[in-house]
A and B are shown apart, each in its own frame.
Chain A
Amino acid sequence: MLKAIIGQKTSKKNSYGKLLTPSFAISLVIFIAIVVLSAFAPVFATHDPNKNELQSSLAGPSKSHWLGCDVNGRDLYSRVLYGGRTALMGALGVVGLSIVLGIPLGLVCGYVGGLADTLIMRLCDVILAFPTLLLAFLFVATFGRGITISVVALGIVYVPMLTRLTRSLAIVEKNKTYVSAAISLGYSPLRIMYRHILPNCISTILVQLTLDLGYAILDLSSLSFLGLGVIEPTADWGAMLGQGRLYLLVNPYLSTVPGAVIVLSVVSLNIFSDCLRQYLDHTQVQLPSFEEYASRLEKQQKPQESGA
């Protein structure tokens, strides 16, 4: 719910329905750059991210190590690139898991309703009773540290919000004429949910998912920062920040650079999602209600009458 509210922005300057506004373009370019740099980390990296060179431990920026080295003498620049892989893949995993569970559950809740709806919603309440990271803490305490556990735990935490969103959208769609038409044609509930209702909800869900991706990056990095996420020597932005903060005075880049990259990716995703929402809001064609249609017809007819 919190995240849904953050997504709402007041200014309506982008009301022309143009998708390619400057802020959209900038955020897209930044995010694509981050994705490409991390995805092709082996190409762009100058060093092996896990190779210890103890003689250059905590070295400052130099020609061979652009951003300096961490305490084990590992090249910071290369580790930031590889860390992006962990962070982005992890966040993608979190959002992916929430899609796989959240959307079907939401559709069932909204379209089928009844007992299933009540049960699933109560289950969501229980998960939502845990402040975001607390359930992830519990999972890590139980099953041990590791990126997989963190991703699964956060994925589960993200499910209720997506379920609620999908449910509320499905309830609106369910009462529209095309659904009654599909029912009368004898289509199965499954077909109606996935082929008819879901495509009509997907734009709003998409906006939420891009926003969630940013928050997943934040939450995963928080877990890694606390030492509950990735296990050494895997590079991860949060973990690097956590380790680097111990050497703040010697080489502040160790924590500020990973931090800056986290902020940059989350901000660009936020702006991206915001522009997407404004664009989709605008293009969403509102079909006139029966009354509006009738009054429009009336207006069209009136000039003819007066002319006659």
Chain B
Amino acid sequence: MAKYLLKRLLQSLVVLVVVSAVIFFTVRLSPSDPIASITKGKTVTAQVREDLLRRFNLDKSPIQQYYLWIGGMLKGDFGESYQYRQPVSLLVSQRVKTTVQLAALSTVLAILIAVPLGIVLAVKANSFTDKALSIISLVFVASPTFLIGVIFMLVFALRLKWFPSMGTGSFRHLVLPSCAMAINMVALTSRITRQSMIEELSSDYITAAYAKGVGPLRIIFIHALRNAVIPVITITSLQIGGMLVGAVLVETVFAMGGLGDLLISSIKSSDYPVVQGVTMMMIVVYCALSVVVDTLYAIIDPRIRLQ
């Protein structure tokens, strides 16, 4: 187990180092002048220009800049934003709460709805409910998160006025965005749960359990679910990445001022330190979560460890 974990950690560390280089040097390919983004397009004297270059380490060679960036990140310093003239870490820490709340709430919501729903659909497979819901879920899988957000906003915030339409601050502000994000996940996760439960329920060991006289509830929840949950974990872990992007979209719809808003506005104003920093942080979180999921996996299914 320890060996497996160590191998997995090393792998993701290597990927992270390469990813950091990709991020850093891709951004350096930009044809636009960083000084122009710093001064917001104003022309400045050669002296000011030189000072600015030095302040943002732009006078050094790209390799040196990369080392400084990596070294700074390890110490928690992600550089300084061009447009806000504030440390990236400060900007992020002001906004990260919204995004984390949103992501966590929608994931919990999605799992709480999707897994029971999937089980019910598997038990009632091919019934009318099953068929109707599978069509609905197909539509939701194909709906972009921002469309669901916009429709929720129109119906529940603007027409019915049940929830505020934008901003943050209270739990009520979080309800619509989290639901919008969760719906996509519910559609997908319930389909996977259903499929995987049907596969388990039709296997021989379930027949054997029936024959032994085990009750249906015990068969569903103790016997089948334990095996059926593995693909569900995979799909959930794969959705973590999609969720980070989903948060960006939903935050834009509901003007929540989270990490996503910061990223998009920095992309538009060529604020490279912020773009680099936020991208890198999102990928670190994504990588870390997938390591956690893989570990969880190995705990649940011993066969994976042996591979």
Interface positions of A (Cβ within 8 A of B): 1-2, 5-6, 8-11, 122, 125-126, 129-134, 137-145, 214, 218, 221-222, 225-228, 238, 241-242, 245, 248-249, 252, 255-256, 259, 262-263, 266-267, 270-271
Q: How far is the CA of A51 from the CA of B146 in the complex (A)?
A: 27
Question: Smallest distance from the beta carbon of A267 to chain B beta carbons, Å?
Answer: 4
- Determine if B286 and A131 form an interchain contact, defined as CB atoms under 8 angstroms apart: yes
**With A126-B15, A142-B27 known to touch, is A2 a contact of B142 (CB < 8 Å)?**
no
Nearest-CB residue, chain B, relative to A2: B238
B48 on interface, CB distance cutoff 8 Å: no
Nearest-CB residue, chain A, relative to B17: A126
- Determine if A141 and B286 form an interchain contact, defined as CB atoms under 8 angstroms apart: no
Interface positions of B (Cβ within 8 A of A): 15-16, 18-19, 22-23, 26-27, 29-32, 126, 134, 138-139, 141-147, 150-151, 153-154, 158, 188, 191-192, 194-195, 198-199, 231, 234-235, 238-242, 244-245, 248-249, 252-253, 263-264, 266-268, 270, 272, 275, 279, 282-283, 286-287
Enumerate chain A residues within 8 angstroms of B279, measured Cβ to Cβ: 134, 137-138
Q: How far is the CA of A248 from the CA of B159 in the complex (A)?
A: 10
A-B contact count (CB 8 A): 151
Enumerate chain B residues within 8 angstroms of A130, measured Cβ to Cβ: 19, 241, 283
Enumerate chain B residues within 8 angstroms of A252, measured Cβ to Cβ: 154
- Determine if B264 and A227 form an interchain contact, defined as CB atoms under 8 angstroms apart: yes
16 sampled A-B residue pairs with Cβ under 8 A? A9-B195, A10-B199, A126-B19, A129-B283, A131-B240, A131-B282, A131-B286, A138-B27, A218-B142, A221-B144, A225-B249, A245-B150, A255-B147, A256-B154, A263-B139, A263-B142
- Determine if B244 and A129 form an interchain contact, defined as CB atoms under 8 angstroms apart: no
- Determine if A129 and B253 form an interchain contact, defined as CB atoms under 8 angstroms apart: no
Question: Smallest distance from the beta carbon of A215 to chain B beta carbons, Å?
Answer: 9
- Determine if B158 and A131 form an interchain contact, defined as CB atoms under 8 angstroms apart: no
**With A129-B283, A131-B245, A255-B150 known to touch, is A139 a contact of B139 (CB < 8 Å)?**
no
Nearest-CB residue, chain B, relative to A262: B144
- Mostly, the A contact residues are helix
Question: Smallest distance from the beta carbon of A71 to chain B beta carbons, Å?
Answer: 16
- Determine if B141 and A226 form an interchain contact, defined as CB atoms under 8 angstroms apart: no
Question: Smallest distance from the beta carbon of A148 to chain B beta carbons, Å?
Answer: 14
| A259: contacting residue among B151, B234, B235, CB under 8 A | B151
Q: How far is the CA of A242 from the CA of B248 in the complex (A)?
A: 14
- Apart from A126-B22, A222-B146, A228-B264, what 11 extra A-B contacts exist at CB < 8 Å? A131-B240, A134-B282, A137-B263, A137-B275, A143-B31, A222-B249, A226-B248, A248-B158, A256-B150, A267-B138, A270-B138
- Determine if A132 and B245 form an interchain contact, defined as CB atoms under 8 angstroms apart: yes
- Determine if A131 and B242 form an interchain contact, defined as CB atoms under 8 angstroms apart: yes
Question: Smallest distance from the beta carbon of A120 to chain B beta carbons, Å?
Answer: 14
Question: Smallest distance from the beta carbon of A100 to chain B beta carbons, Å?
Answer: 21
| A142: contacting residue among B26, B144, B150, CB under 8 A | B26
Nearest-CB residue, chain B, relative to A123: B18
- Determine if B242 and A228 form an interchain contact, defined as CB atoms under 8 angstroms apart: no
- Determine if A241 and B244 form an interchain contact, defined as CB atoms under 8 angstroms apart: no
